[in-house]
Structures are given as C-alpha cells and as structure tokens.
C-alpha cells in the first residue's frame, strides 16, 4: 500500500469518531437516536440525510461539519471532495448499528 493510501486511511480512521459524533457527546447521542428512530439515514456520499423534515436543520449542521472535513482531506491528499466523501461513507456505514437506513447510489433506501 502506498504511503498516500496509508496516511489517507489513517486520517479516515482518526476522523471516524468525529463524523459519528459531529457536535460532541450530546450531538452524537442525538444523531444516534435519530438514526435509530429512522428520522435520519446515511448516504453513499458521506452525508447524513433527513428522512423526516423536522430534523433537517440538525442534519444540515452535521453535514456542514462533514463537508469541512472532506474538503480539508481533499486538499491534503489531492483527491476530490466527492471521492473523500465516498471513502468516509464506507467507514460510516461499517460502523452503523443494524436497522439504520442507508440511501444507495441508486437512490433506494435500504435498512442495514
């Protein structure tokens, strides 16, 4: 594995907890609760998706923080922001509990 890939994946792993807990412990609990309730899902882009309009503002806060991380990693690695988001998406989905909704690249919701 190249040095680029090793450092890229190390950065992804280090940031995984931050992505799962975008605003600290209180926000992480809220995100986990919203995922468990089905009001929030995750997408193949690495962004959270509001499945219920009542949580749109919260999801936008989560995604703003994720976008900043993706942009920073893209700049560091020379990858596109979309590619970074896709890699993070795989990391996020691997850590989701069973029953969490995931939006596929075909636009279909599936329950993990």
d(CA 34, CA 79): 31
List C-alpha distances in Å: 11 to 21, 88, 100, 110: 16, 10, 25, 28
Model confidence pTM above 0.85? no
- Predicted local distance difference test score (pLDDT) of residue 28: 57
Q: Which of 107, 103, 109 is nearest to 48 (CA)?
A: 103
Domains identified in the chain, total number: 1
Q: Does the pLDDT of residue 64 top 90, yes or no?
A: yes
H or E element in which residue 79 lies = none
pLDDT tens-digit series, residues 31-61: 999 999 999 999 999 999 999 999 999 999 9
| Residues of the domain holding 76 | 3-111
């Amino acid at each position: 594995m190249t040095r680029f890939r090793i450092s890229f994946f190390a950065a992804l792993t280090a940031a995984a907890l931050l992505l799962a807990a975008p605003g600290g412990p209180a926000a992480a609990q809220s995100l986990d609760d919203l995922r468990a309730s089905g009001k929030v899902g995750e997408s193949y882009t690495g962004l959270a998706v509001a499945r219920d309009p009542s949580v749109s503002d919260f999801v936008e806060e989560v995604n703003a923080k994720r976008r900043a991380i993706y942009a920073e990693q893209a700049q560091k690695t020379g990858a596109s922001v979309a590619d970074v988001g896709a890699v993070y998406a795989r990391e996020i989905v691997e850590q989701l509990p069973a029953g969490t909704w995931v939006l596929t690249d075909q636009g279909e919701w599936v329950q993990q």
